Amino acid sequence: MVTATVWNEFRHEREDDVVAEQYPDGIHETIAEFLDERGFETRTATLDEPDHGLTGEVLDDTDVLLWWGHAAHDEVNEEVVDRVQERVLDGMGLLVLHSAHYSKVFKRLMGTSCSLKWREAGERERLWVVEPSHPITEGIDEYIELPEAEMYGERFDVPAPETLVFTSWFEGGNVFRSGCCYRRGAGKIFYFRPGHETYPIYHQSEIQQVLANAVEWAAPGEGPDPEYGEREPLESIE
C-alpha cells in the first residue's frame, strides 16, 4: 500500500475567510481525504509543527510527498529542504502543487528560478492532455476545464520536463506546461499547476483523479540501489 504525506503551509486557511470557506480544515486535509478514499494510506504535515512535521521518521514512512506552499516559502528550514531533497534522490516521490513551483524544495531539485507569469482574474483554464499514454492521465478526458483559475503563463523557467503530460490554455491569452514529469536520483517528481487556495479546485473530481494517478506513478519502485565511489575493475586491465 502506497503511503502519501500531504504537506501544507496551512496559513491561508487560518487567516483568510475566503480560503477557509473552500478548505475549512486546510488544503492538506481535503487532499488527504480524497487520497484516502482512493486507497492510499495518508498523513499530513504542516509548516508550524516542529520540523514542519517532516522528521526523518515521517519521511521514512512516506512513499510520496505532496507539497503545497505559497506565502511562507522562506520560512521553510534549510535542513528540512536538505532532508526532503535527499529522500527524493533516494526514491521518494514528490508532487509539487500549484504555487509550490516557488518552494525551496522544487527550486532545489530543478536548479532554476521556477519563475512564471501570473494573474489572479478568475479566468477559465483548460488543461489539454498531450501524452495520453501516460499513467497520470488514466480516467481523464481529453481536457480538464477549470471554470475559474489563477493564471500561470510561459515562460515557466524549469528544465524541459522529461514527459510533458498537460498543457494549459487560459482565457486571458496565455499557455502553460501544467503537468511536468521529472526523475531526480531514484525519485519521480510531478509538478501539477491547478490548485489555487481561493477556488474549489481540489474539490473537482478530475483534479483528484490526476493527483491519485500521480501518487501511484511517483511511488518508489524496486529498482537497483546504485553504489557510488571507488570501485575495483570488473575486467582485467593491461
**Distance of alpha carbon 210 from alpha carbon 188, whole angstroms:** 15
Contact by Cβ (8 Å): 105, 81: yes
Closer of 42 and 137 to a copy of itself (Cβ):
137
Q: Residue 23: count other Cβ atoms within 10 Å of its Cβ.
A: 21
**Residue 124: CB minimum distance to a copy of itself, A:** 8
Nearer to a copy of itself, 98 or 188 (CB): 188
Beta carbon of residue 82, minimum distance to a copy of itself (angstroms, whole number): 12
Burial environment of residue 16 by CB neighbours within 10 A (0 to 12, 13 to 18, 19 or more): middle
Which of 194, 196, 185 lies closest to 143 in space, CA to CA?
Answer: 194
Task: Tell me how far apart the alpha carbons of residues 235 and 158 are, in angstroms, rounded to a whole number.
Answer: 41
Residue 32 or 158 with smaller CB distance to a copy of itself? 158
CA distance 19 to 47: 17
Cα–Cα distances (Å) from 156 to 2, 101, 123, 195, in that order, read: 31, 10, 19, 17
Of residues 1 and 231, the one with the C-beta less far from a copy of itself? 231
- Least separation in angstroms between CB 48 and a copy of itself: 27
Which residue, 51 or 108, is less far from a copy of itself as judged by CB? Answer: 108
Q: Which residue number, 50 or 233, has a Cβ lying nearer to a copy of itself?
A: 233
User: What element of type H or E holds 212?
Assistant: helix 205-218
Rounded CA separation 75/77 (Å): 6
Shortest distance, position 168 Cβ to a copy of itself, whole Å = 7
Closest separation in Å from C-beta 90 to a copy of itself? 10
Nearest CA among 122, 104, 121, 124 for reference residue 113: 104
- Residue closer to a copy of itself by CB (options 20, 153) is 153
* Grid cell of 166 as nine digits: 498537460
